[in-house]
Structure 1
Amino acid sequence: MSKLILIDGNSIANRAFYALPLLSNSSGLHTNAVYGFTTMLLKLIEEQKPTHFMVAFDAGKITFRHKDYKEYKGGRAKTPPELSEQFPLLKDLLQAFGISQFELEGYEADDIIGTLTRLADDQGIEVLVVTGDKDMLQLASSQVTIALTRKGISEVELYDPGAIEEKYGLQPLQIIDLKGLMGDSSDNIPGIPGVGEKTALKLLHQYGSVEQVLEHSDELKGKMKEKVQAHSEDARMSKELATIYREVPMELTLDEMVFNGSEGQALAAMFQKLEFKSLLDKMDFASSDVEEEAAAELDCILLDEHSAAEWTGKLQKVTAIYVEVIGDNPHHSDVVGISFYDGEASYYAPLEVLQSKEGTAIREWLADPAKQVASYDVHRADVALSWQGIELKGCSFDVQLASYLLDPTEASHSLAAIASKFSIRGLKEDEIVYGKGAKFKLPDIQTLKDHMGRKAEGIAKLTPILEQELEKGEMTDLFHGLEMPLSSVLGGMEKQGILVHSEELRTLGGELNERIQDLVATIYDLAGGEFNINSPKQLGEVLFDKLQLPVIKKTKTGYSTDAEVLEKLASRHEIVQHLLTYRQLAKLQSTYIEGLLKEVNEQTGKIHTYYKQTIAATGRLSSQYPNLQNIPIRLEEGRKIRKVFVPSEPGWKILAADYSQIELRVLAHISQDEKLMEAFHHNMDIHTKTAMDVFGVAESDVDSNMRRSAKAVNFGIVYGISDYGLSQNLDITRAEAAKFIEQYFSVFQGVRGYMEEIVQKARKDGYVTTLLQRRRYLPEINASNYNLRSFAERTAMNTPIQGTAADIIKLAMVQLAERIKEEKLESRMLLQVHDELVFEVPEAELEMMERLVPETMEQALKLDVPLRADVSIGDNWYEAK
C-alpha cells in the first residue's frame, strides 16, 4: 500500500533551529536547523518506510490571508539570519535525499499539505503529516494521521480522529472553531480576548461551533457574554484565518512525490559539506552496486608465521601502513598488529607474527629509514612499537598530521573522519568495530583484518589528496619541513624519558603533607572549630554565616567559594589566604606528588610523557601522561617538585634553555611597532619600557605596581584581553582598565594597527596564519552574535602571535636534534615545556651545549627583532632554573 509523508518545512525547520544549539561547519555556515531536520528525515524513512515523500514550504511572507487581515502573523519576530541562511542548504539536502519539495507564491505550506491530503483521501492513500502546528489537526481523517512534534522535534504525538476526540472531545474540523474562539498568538489571530483553551473547549462541547456559540451568546452570563458579543466578528475572522485552504491550484501529482530511497553518494557528499560526521559514521553509504562490489573485492590477506616470510618479497611495493594501537597512552598500550597496502591488495600481520622469527624481514623493513611510506599517527605508532622491540622509520607522510594542519579546529582527525571528509568510502570508526568503553573488545579475525586492510588502503588513497590540499593551503613546507621531522624528534624524547628520584618525591610528599596538616590546624583555629574544608557548603557557612564576610557570589546550592571569590576576600580575613594556600598545596599533593609517582615506569625508573601534536588550534604541543607542562612553579613547593627530575647518567647535568618574552618579540615583528622594536633592539626590560611609555615617566620613576600593570597589559594584549579581563587581573575597575588599554594603544600605534588589520583580513579570508603559514579558520568571525564574533576577533589577533611562537620553538627542536646528531654529541633533549627546552648533558659537552642551544634557538627563525634564549645548568631541573 502507498504511504505518503508530508512535512511542513518551515514549521519543522523553526522547531529544529530553536531546539538545538547553534552549530556551524568550518566555512561558517550555520547547520543546526538542517541537522535537526536531517535526523527527523532519517528516523521517518527508517520507521515509516514511505513510498511517497514531499516537503512543503511557505513561498513568501504575503499570502491570500493578508488581503482580509493585514496583521496576520504580524507579531512574529523577524527570522534570525542564522536560520534563514539554512533554508537553501535544507533544500539542497532534500534533493540529495531524493525527496520532492514544493512551494507556491501566495500560499502557506499547510495549504499545500491540506490540498494534498484531500487528494490522497480521495484516492485512499495513507498519509502522515509532520508538523509543529496544531492547526494541522483539522486535516486528520481515516487516511490522514498528524504527527505533532514535541520537545523540539525529538518526539512526536500521533493524532487521528480518535486521538483528537480523546484529547479534546472534538472532531478534526472543530479545531478551526477552537482557534476561532481562543485565537493563536503565534499567527497573530485574535480570537475572543480572555477565552483560553479550557473555556473554548467548554463552549464547543456545549454548542459545537463558533457560529453556534455566537448564535446562543444570549445564554452566556456576565463578562463572557459581553466578550463574545463584542468580538463576534473577530471570532468569525479568526476561524476563517485558521481554516486550511484545500483547493490550492497546483499540478503536483502523486507520481512526482515517489520516494525510491536516498542515493548514497549524493547524500554522503551533502553530509560532508555540512560536516555531519556522526551521521556519516552511522550510515553505510556503500549502497550502490559499484560500491558494494568494490567493498566485496577488498579481501585483506592475513599473514601468519608461514606466509609472512614468503610475502616479504612484496614489501618494496608497499605504499602505506597502519599500526593499530589500543589505549590512550602509547607507553602503556597494546599493539594489535600492522596492515600494509601495496597498490593492489592489503595485508595484515598480527603482533605475534611481527615478533616471530618469520617476521624478521618485516621488522628490518619497518626500521629502514630509506623507505618512503604513508601512515597515520606515526609518532604514536613509533612510541608504542618501540615498547614491543620494533623500530619504525621511513614514514614520510602522516595523514593525521596533514588533516590537523588543514584545519586544526576539526572535531575529529580519526582516520574514518578524514576519509569521510574526502569521500573515501568503506572505513568505519573504531567504536563501531570494537565497541566503546566497557563494551570494547577486538572482533573476530576476519572483521579485524578487513578493518585493518581498509585503513591501510584508505591511507594510500588519502595521501595524494592531502598533499594537494596542503599545496593549496601553502602548508607543504610547514608539513614536510617542520611537523613531520618534529614527530620523529618527539618520539625520541619520549622513548628516552626523564629520570625521577622517586624516594625524593615521596619525601617531598611527606613534607607537603606536614605543611597541609599545619594549615588545616590554623584554619580550624581561625574558624573556631573543625569542619570539612573541601565542602563548599560547610566552608560557605564558616566564611559567610559565622565570620560574616561579604557574600561575593551565590550558586544554586548556596554560597560560592571558588578561587575568584576567595581571592577577592583575601584582604578581609587571614583565614582566606590560608585556605588559598591549602588548596594549592592539596592539589600539588594529589595531582603532582601522587600523580607523578603513578607515572614512573617500573622498568626504566623514568617518566615518559607523551606530546600530542594534533590538539591545540594554535599549534602548541600538549604534554600528557603525565602533563609536565602544568607543574605549578609560582609556589616554592611547586618549584621543588622539579628537584626530583635528574640526569639519567652519573656525572651528567640538566641544562634548561628558555625563550625570553618570545610572544612579545613576535608581536613586535608582526606589528612593526617602533616602540616595541626599539625596546627589544636595546635589550630593555619590556615591562618597564611599557610602563615608561604608558604612564609617561622616566625609567627611574617606574615603581613595582606600574611594572605589574604594564606586564598584565603586555601579556593581555597577546591574548586579546578585554577591559573586564584586565580589571580582574589587576583588581581595578573596568573603566580604569579600559583607560589603561586605550593609553597602551595610543602609545603603541603599530600594535593597534595590527589588531585592526588582522581582524579585517580574517573577515575577508575566514582564517589567519602564522609566519610559517599555519592556518586557523574562524567561522564565527562574521557571526551576528556579539559574543561569538568577539571571541573570533580575539582569536584572530592572538593566533598569529601564539602560533608563530609555537612554530619557532618547534623549529628550534628540529634544528637542535639535527645539530646534536651532526656534532655526534651524547647530549639528549628530554622535555619541552612551553617556551623552555630541557636537556641532559655530559660534563664534557657542557661548554659546547651552553653555546649551541641558545645560538640555535635564537636563530631558529629570522625576525626583525632579536630572539633571546637564557640558559641555566644544574644537578636537577630545579637548579637549572
Structure 2
Amino acid sequence: MSDSPKTLLLVDGSSYLYRAYHALPDLRNGEGLPTGAIYGMINMLRKLRNDYPAEYSACVFDAKGKTFRDDLYPAYKEHRPSMPEDLARQIEPIHEAVRALGWPIVMVEGVEADDVIGTLAREASAQGVRTVVSTGDKDLAQLVNGEVTLVNTMSGEVLDPAGVQAKFGVPPERIVDYLSLIGDAVDNVPGVPKVGPKTAVKWLTEHGSLDAVMAGADGIKGVVGENLRKTLDWLPMARTLVTVKTDCDLGAAVSDFHSLKDVGEDKDKLVAFFSRYGFKTWLRELTGESLPSLRAQAAKGAGARAPQAQGGLFDSAPAATPADPVPAPDAPPAETRYETVTTEAALQAWLDRLAEGALVAVDTETTSLDPMQARLVGISLSLVPGEACYIPVGHCGPDVAGIEQHGQLTREFVLERLRGWLEDPARPKLGQNIKYDAHVFANHGVTLRGIVHDTMLQSYVLASHRNHGMDSLAERLLGIKTITYEEVCGKGASQIGFDQIDLARATEYAAEDADVTLRLHRAMFPQLQAVPGLEHVYRHIEMPVSVVLQKIERNGVLIDAQRLAEQSAQLGQRMLELEQAAYDAAGQPFNLGSPKQIGEILFGQMKLPVVKKTASGAPSTDEEVLQKLAEDYPLPKLLLDYRGLAKLKSTYTDKLPKMVNPATGRVHTSYGQATAVTGRLASTDPNLQNIPVRTEEGRRIREAFIAPPGRVIVSADYSQIELRIMAHISGDENLLGAFARGEDIHRATAAEIFGVEREAVSSEQRRYAKVINFGLIYGMSAFGLAGNLGIEREAAKHYIDRYFTRYPGVARYMEDTRQAAREQGYVETVFGRRLWLPDINGGSGPRRQAAERAAINAPMQGTAADLIKLSMIAVQDWLERDRLQTLQIMQVHDELVLEVPEAELELVKRRLPELMCGVAELRVPLVAEVGSGANWEEAH
C-alpha cells in the first residue's frame, strides 16, 4: 500500500461557484443573507473528500483583474454579465467555509483558475502524484492523461482518456484543436462559423490535427469550408486562448507543493459558521444539537393550537420530528444494486430490513394513471441510496407466461405480508406524489399510513415555479438522467402496459424510481430545513393536507345524472335558438365554431372595427375581442352566449355523467397540489373550479351535485378573505378598523372614496368601491378600472388616488412589496410560503409589469390558499377525532363542501366556522359563512 501513488485533489472553485448559485433555490439564513451558493459549495466539497481521499488538496479560484488573455484579445469574456449581487455577497463566506473545511485556497493574480490547475497538475505528475480535478468546465478535458482525471460532482461524470474520447469524440490531446474549431461562447472566443462539435470531430478524425485541417482547408467543400478558409488567420489566436497553460509562475500562492497537504476540518470554526448561516443539519451532525434559538422557539411552540401570523413573516420555527432524523447529504453511490423480489425468502429479507424503522421510499407501478381505477402491478422500495428492490405482483407479459404464478408472488400474498408495515403510522414513508400511491393501495384495501415526506411537494415548496417531475428533479439536482416510461413501454399506439414488461427491465425502471426518490429527499430536505418558513409550510401545511386530499378524492361527490341530462337538452335547445339568431344578425348561415368564418362576417362583410390581430395578421375573434365588440353590436354578444353554453354542455352536462366511477357511483376529482405557483389547489377530471357561478346556467349545474337520502350538502367559505389578508399585511388603520367593527367593507370604502356618510352610500357607489377593492389587490391600473366601470380614465385615476389617500397603508404595502420582490426575487405569504417571480427583474416590459402585479397579489392569494388548506386539515382532524360520519367532498377556491348526515347537521354548522376561523390569528377577524341544502347550489 505504501508504494501506491499519492493524490492531489483540485477543485475548480470558480466553476462551482456559479453552478451552485444557479442550481439551488434562493436559500437565506435567519438574517436574510443569501446562502444557496455557500450551501452548494460546502456540500460538494464534503462529498468530494469522502469520494476521493487525497494527501494533497486545493480549491482554486480566479483572482480579480486581467490576465494575459485579456491583453492578447481585449474582447475575451467581455459578454459575461457581472456577478449577481447575491452571489458576490457569498464569496467571502465561501472562502471562510472552504478554509474551515481544511482546503487550502489558491488564487494567483493575473492567472486564471484553469491555468493554476493545469500548472499544479503538471507539477504533481513530475513528482509522481496523480491528480483528480473536480470541475464542470469542458476546457480542462485537455489536461486528462494517465495521471490526471476529471470528475463532475453534480453529474457524477468521471473522465479519464477513454471517457474524454467517448464524450467529445476526440482524445484529450485534440481537445485544444476541437475547442479552437467550435469556439467558446462562454469566454467569447469565436470558432469557425457554422462549425459545431460533429463537424469538428469529423475534420479532426479525417485530418488528425488542427494544423492538418488548416493545411487541407482548400479541399473542404461547402459553406463550412468557405468559413474555415475565412477563419484561418484567426485560428492560431483561438488556439492560444483556449489552451490551458501548465507552466505558470504561482509565486507565493504555492510556495511549496507540500503546502497543499490535507489538514482536515476545523470543527470549532465549522460550528460557528454553520450556526451563523443556519445550516441546521450539518450543525447537528457536528454537535448533536440544533441552533439554540431554534430549540427555544420549537419548545415555545410545542402544543400550540396554530402559528401566530404577523405581518407576512412566520416568526417561530417548528420543532423537528424526533422520529425523523435527517441524513447528511450523500455522495452519489458508486454503483446501484437493484433486486427483483420473486420468492418468499427474498420478501422476508426486505421485511426484516423494513422493521429497522428507517425512512423508506415507496413507489408503485400500476395499470392506469387514474388513481381510483389503477390496479397494482408492482411495488418498489429503497432504504439506502443506490439500493432498491422491485416486487412484481401483476406482470403477465409473454416473458413470464406459462410459468407458475407468472414468475412472481401473488398480489394478495405480498399485500398481506406488507400490510402491517404499510398501515403502521410509526413507520416513516416517503414518495414522489405519494398521494397517488396511497390511492393505489386503497384500491386493494390497504390504508397507507406513516407518510412523512413527498419529494414532489418538497420541490414545490422550495420553488413552486419549477418543474416538479421526478425525471426533471433528478437531472437538475442529482445530475442523473433517469429511465423514462416511454423508453420502457414505448410511445403512442404501440405503447404497451407496464404489466407486459419483462421483470428485469421492469426492475431497472421501478427500483430506480424508489432509489432516486430517496436521494432527492436527501438533497432537498436540508434546503427546506435551512429556511424555517419553508419548513413550516412543508411540514404543517402541504404534507398533512396531502393526506386529507386523498380522503376527499376517495369520498367523491354524488351526481344527479338525470338532472344533467335534462339540462343538457335545454342547453342544446337554447344553442339552436342562439344559432338562428346569429344567422339572422349576420344575414346568412355560418359555422359558429369557425374563427375564420366569424372573422369574414364580422370584419369582411359587417365592417366592424378590428380590435386586435392574430400572429398571422388576421383580425382576432377571441373572447376579449368579442366582449369589446359586444358593447356596441348584437352579433358578438350572441357569439359569446353561444360559446359559453357550448362549453358548459361539453364540459359538464354531457361529460359529468360519463365520469361517474362505476364502483362507487360518484365522481372523483383529482386535486393537484404542485400546480399553481400561489399554493392554490388545481382540480382536474373533472375541473370543479371552473363551473361558472355568475350565470343561471352555471348555477344550475351545481344543482346536480347532490347528497344521498338522509344527508345534506353543507358549504362553508371565507368571507372577503383576500381583502382581510390585505388589511392584515398592509396594517392600514382604516381597513383594520372597518373589519374590526364588522362593517360592510365595500360600503366603508365607498364612503371614504366619495366622501359621504356610510348610510348615504348608493348601490352604484358600493359597486364602484367593490370593483376598486378587488381590482387594486390584483394590480389593476386606472386604464383597467376605467374599462371595468365604463368611465373615463381620468375619473378612474381620481378614484384610485382617493383610495390611496384614505388607505395609505395599502399604497405603502404595494410599493414596499414591489421593491422587496425586485431585491429578492420572491414574495412571501403570512405563513412563509415563497412565491417566486422570475420576470420581476427581466423579461419584456409587459412580463415585468405582470410580475409586479403578481408580487402585490400573490401574498394574498397564497395566504388564502394556506388558510383553506389549514382549514381542511383542522376539519378532518375533528371529524376523525370525534368519529363523525360527515365527509369532506370538495374544495373549490375559498370554499369547503361537506356531505353531512341530518343527525350531525346542527353540530357541523356550528363547529365548521369555529374551526375555519381558528386556524390562524390575523390582525382582523376571519369570517366563515355556512349554508346547507339538498344540493350544492342550494347550500349557498
**Normalised TM-score (structure 2):** 0.66
2:193: which partner in 1?
A: 148
Distance change (3 Å), C-alpha of 1:754 and 1:328 = farther
1:534-573 equivalences in 2 (<5 Å)? 534-555=593-614, 556=616, 558-573=618-633
Deviation at 1:611, TM superposition (A): 0.6
2:455: which partner in 1?
A: 399
Deviation at 1:148, TM superposition (A): 1.9
Deviation at 1:401, TM superposition (A): 1.5
Answer yes or no: is the 8 Å Cα contact 2:23–2:476 preserved in 1.
no
Q: 1:378 aligns with which of 434, 438, 461?
A: 434
1:619 aligns with 2:660: no
2:391: which partner in 1?
A: 349
Give CA-to-partner distance per residue, 1:259-316, whole Å, 9 cap, x none. xxxxxxxxxxxxxxxxxxxxxxxxxxxxxxx999832x51324234674367544431
What SS class does the counterpart of residue 300 from structure 1 fall into? strand
1:781 aligns with 2:840: yes
Give CA-to-partner distance per residue, 1:199-229, whole Å, 9 cap, x none. xxxxxxxxxxxxxxxxxxxxxxxxxxxxxxx
Q: Read off the aligned partner of 1:566 and give its amino acid letter.
A: L
Distance change (3 Å), C-alpha of 1:518 and 1:125 = closer
What SS class does the counterpart of residue 689 from structure 1 fall into? helix
Deviation at 1:845, TM superposition (A): 0.9
1:843: which partner in 2?
A: 902
Q: Read off the aligned partner of 1:370 and give its amino acid letter.
A: A
Q: Read off the aligned partner of 1:632 and give its amino acid letter.
A: P
Distance change (3 Å), C-alpha of 1:101 and 1:835 = same
1:407-806 equivalences in 2 (<5 Å)? 407-410=463-466, 412-423=467-478, 427-438=482-493, 440-441=495-496, 442=498, 443-474=501-532, 475-555=534-614, 556=616, 558-648=618-708, 650-732=709-791, 734-783=793-842, 786-806=845-865
Distance change (3 Å), C-alpha of 1:437 and 1:85 = farther
What SS class does the counterpart of residue 593 from structure 2 fall into? coil
1:844-863 equivalences in 2 (<5 Å)? 844-863=903-922
Deviates more, 1:513-522 or 1:448-457: 448-457
1:303: which partner in 2?
A: 342
Q: 1:331 aligns with which of 358, 361, 372?
A: 372
1:9: which partner in 2?
A: none
Give CA-to-partner distance per residue, 1:85-132, whole Å, 9 cap, x none. 999999999952341599xxxxxxxxxxxxxxxxxxxxx989962359
Answer yes or no: is the 8 Å Cα contact 1:354–1:363 preserved in 2.
no
Q: Hey, what's the Cα distance between the residues in 2 that align with 1:369 and 1:624?
A: 29
Answer yes or no: is the 8 Å Cα contact 2:718–2:895 preserved in 1.
yes
Q: Hey, what's the Cα distance between the residues in 2 that align with 1:643 and 1:745?
A: 42
1:10: which partner in 2?
A: none
Deviates more, 1:786-795 or 1:93-102: 93-102
Q: Hey, what's the Cα distance between the residues in 1 that align with 2:782 and 2:69?
A: 43
Answer yes or no: is the 8 Å Cα contact 2:545–2:873 preserved in 1.
yes
Q: Hey, what's the Cα distance between the residues in 2 that align with 1:880 and 1:553?
A: 42
1:130 aligns with 2:182: yes
Give CA-to-partner distance per residue, 1:784-811, whole Å, 9 cap, x none. 8544443333232222211111111111
Distance change (3 Å), C-alpha of 1:681 and 1:432 = same
Deviation at 1:549, TM superposition (A): 2.7
Deviation at 1:363, TM superposition (A): 2.3
Q: Hey, what's the Cα distance between the residues in 2 that align with 1:256 and 1:541?
A: 72
1:252-263 equivalences in 2 (<5 Å)? none
Deviation at 1:593, TM superposition (A): 1.5
1:274-289 equivalences in 2 (<5 Å)? none
2:360: which partner in 1?
A: 320
Q: Hey, what's the Cα distance between the residues in 2 that align with 1:65 and 1:427?
A: 42
Q: Read off the aligned partner of 2:433 and give its amino acid letter.
A: D
Answer yes or no: is the 8 Å Cα contact 2:736–2:924 preserved in 1.
yes
Q: 1:362 aligns with which of 418, 426, 437?
A: 418
Deviation at 1:434, TM superposition (A): 4.5
Distance change (3 Å), C-alpha of 1:80 and 1:547 = farther
What SS class does the counterpart of residue 653 from structure 1 fall into? strand
Deviation at 1:165, TM superposition (A): 7.8
Q: Hey, what's the Cα distance between the residues in 1 that align with 2:69 and 2:413?
A: 77
Distance change (3 Å), C-alpha of 1:549 and 1:424 = closer
Q: Read off the aligned partner of 1:385 and give its amino acid letter.
A: F
Give CA-to-partner distance per residue, 1:303-354, whole Å, 9 cap, x none. 3467436754443125313222554432233433211234495332224446
Distance change (3 Å), C-alpha of 1:756 and 1:252 = closer
Q: Hey, what's the Cα distance between the residues in 1 that align with 2:87 and 2:134?
A: 11
Distance change (3 Å), C-alpha of 1:595 and 1:310 = same
2:885: which partner in 1?
A: 826
Deviation at 1:600, TM superposition (A): 1.3
Q: Hey, what's the Cα distance between the residues in 1 that align with 2:747 and 2:837?
A: 34
1:294: which partner in 2?
A: 334
Answer yes or no: is the 8 Å Cα contact 1:302–1:449 preserved in 2.
no
What SS class does the counterpart of residue 332 from structure 1 fall into? coil
Q: Hey, what's the Cα distance between the residues in 1 that align with 2:524 and 2:239?
A: 52
Distance change (3 Å), C-alpha of 1:454 and 1:527 = closer
Give CA-to-partner distance per residue, 1:41-68, whole Å, 9 cap, x none. xxxxxxxxxxxxxxxx9979997999xx
Q: Read off the aligned partner of 2:686 and give its amino acid letter.
A: P
Q: Hey, what's the Cα distance between the residues in 1 that align with 2:693 and 2:429?
A: 43
**Normalised TM-score (structure 1):** 0.70
Q: Read off the aligned partner of 1:413 and give its amino acid letter.
A: H
Deviation at 1:527, TM superposition (A): 1.9
Please provide the CA RMSD for this pair: 4.4
Q: Hey, what's the Cα distance between the residues in 1 that align with 2:514 and 2:577?
A: 59
1:29-428 equivalences in 2 (<5 Å)? 81=81, 96-100=136-140, 129-130=181-182, 147-149=192-194, 161-162=217-218, 244=234, 294-295=334-335, 297-304=336-343, 307-308=346-347, 312-317=351-356, 319-326=359-366, 327-343=368-384, 345-352=387-394, 353=409, 355-357=411-413, 359-410=415-466, 412-423=467-478, 427-428=482-483
Q: Hey, what's the Cα distance between the residues in 2 that align with 1:588 and 1:438?
A: 31
1:33: which partner in 2?
A: none
2:130: which partner in 1?
A: none
How many percent of aligned residue pairs carry the same amino acid?
36
Deviation at 1:619, TM superposition (A): 0.8
Deviates more, 1:412-421 or 1:491-500: 412-421
Q: Hey, what's the Cα distance between the residues in 2 that align with 1:608 and 1:757?
A: 43
Answer yes or no: is the 8 Å Cα contact 2:728–2:736 preserved in 1.
yes
Q: Hey, what's the Cα distance between the residues in 1 that align with 2:766 and 2:510?
A: 59
Q: Read off the aligned partner of 2:505 and give its amino acid letter.
A: T
Deviation at 1:251, TM superposition (A): 11
Answer yes or no: is the 8 Å Cα contact 1:623–1:629 preserved in 2.
yes
Deviation at 1:681, TM superposition (A): 1.6
Answer yes or no: is the 8 Å Cα contact 1:783–1:789 preserved in 2.
yes
What SS class does the counterpart of residue 380 from structure 2 fall into? strand
Answer yes or no: is the 8 Å Cα contact 2:537–2:831 preserved in 1.
yes
Give CA-to-partner distance per residue, 1:499-551, whole Å, 9 cap, x none. 11112111110111111111111211222221111112222232233333333
Distance change (3 Å), C-alpha of 1:454 and 1:745 = same
Q: Hey, what's the Cα distance between the residues in 1 that align with 2:929 and 2:237?
A: 83
Q: Hey, what's the Cα distance between the residues in 2 that align with 1:807 and 1:689?
A: 27
Deviation at 1:446, TM superposition (A): 1.5
